[in-house]
Amino acid sequence: MILANAELILPDRVLRGAIHVEDGLIAAITEGGAVPEGAIDCAGAHVAPGLIELHTDNLERHIQPRPGVDWPHSAAILAHDGELASAGITTVFDALRVGVLSGKAVENERYARAIASEINALTAAGRTRISHFIHLRAETCSESLLEELDEFDDTDRVRLLSLMDHTPGQRQFRDLSKLAQYHQGKHGLSDAQFKAHVDRLLGLRQKYGEVHEAGAVAAARRIGAVLASHDDTTQDHVATSAGHGARLAEFPTTPEAARACHDHGIAVMVGGPNLIRGGSHSGNVAARDLAEAGLLDIISSDYVPSSLLLGACQLARIWGDLPRAIATVTDAPARATGLTDRGRIEFGLRADLIRLADLDRTARLTGVWVGGRQVG
């Protein structure tokens, strides 16, 4: 396959040229607007590397489309897979929560082990359109974390493990009114039920917090996963993350934390919805402010798959640098997680590619290829 007469978004520049693909890899990159016989004429459209998503809650929405509804898992995974492909995402780290609460409480069902097995089975059978890896979200403020982590090993395609601590009154939910808005809106809790939930979480953090944090760090080493922090708020949070060996910081909540991450060589990831909406729904630092301060490295679509491409286009307008902006959703996430075979238009790398139109307005995808095979 040849994609010709395209504006190729390379790591350091935009080049009019063609990409030659053989056996799923980029075999050559040639300059100019020529269209060889049999090539696909891109007619000046932009071609970029396929997008890489490190943290998305999108799969959970397909598995449980309404509270109490458990949708058939294979159907949910394939619908999620197709939705991401349609958003230009060619590699995804499916975020699965480990660490739940016993009894009748919010978010109290174990699901990660079973879903990870089903994702890996569908991938091995060639039934998915895009590449899937597993991201374990290790909730330290829980009861079952270490027990659940023990169910995973280095054969499970777990490439990322994030340390989550949703103890009320700190990190993402320093403002308890925001936590109440989230949980009472999502789960229909009364004021008394919400207070009981908060008290219970505070007790769990006191009992298990340090043990779970140390166990999760050890589990990441055991299964060969990159370690990420989550919702760092202070310099002390970041220093602890750095001491654990974190290479990636998901959604730092303050400029202070984001700057400390850079001082420690930790890549900073922000949410695409935060960037598109102009602010955080939890009242934390605006992604745009971090971008303007040079403290933004990676975008995650979080809960809106299309926000990955839209966010990169917004960064291109903020920075006036399209290759730098596209790298936040391609090369930077690949590097942060040790994926050396994708993320750039470069000889010998995977031909995971997307074709784009209307980048100066609302970007439109006009083609998606994974390993040289068109999937959208």
At residue 90, does pLDDT exceed 70? yes
CA atoms of 9 and 1, how far apart (whole Å): 18
Share of the chain above pLDDT 70, in %: 91
CA atoms of 370 and 356, how far apart (whole Å): 15
User: Which tokens in the block code for residue 225?
Assistant: 């996963």
**Alpha-carbon separation of residue 104 from 100, 101, 168, 176, 261 (angstroms):** 11, 8, 19, 22, 38
pLDDT band at 204 (very low <50, low <70, confident <90, very high): confident
Residue 145 pairs with which residues in a beta bridge?
none
Task: List pLDDT tens digits, range 264-283.
Answer: 999 999 999 999 999 887 77
Contact 271, 22 (CB under 8 A): no
User: Which tokens in the block code for residue 124?
Assistant: 């091995």
Task: List pLDDT tens digits, range 305-333.
Answer: 999 999 999 999 999 999 999 999 999 99
At residue 239, does pLDDT exceed 70? yes
Q: Which domains does the chain have, with CATH numbers?
A: 1-48+343-376 (2.30.40.10), 51-341 (3.20.20.140)
pLDDT value for 366? 97
Q: How many CB atoms lie within 10 A of CB 174?
A: 17
CA atoms of 129 and 373, how far apart (whole Å): 9
Q: How many CB atoms lie within 10 A of CB 226?
A: 21
pLDDT band at 176 (very low <50, low <70, confident <90, very high): low
Residue whose C-alpha is closest to residue 77's, from 109, 49, 51, 114: 114
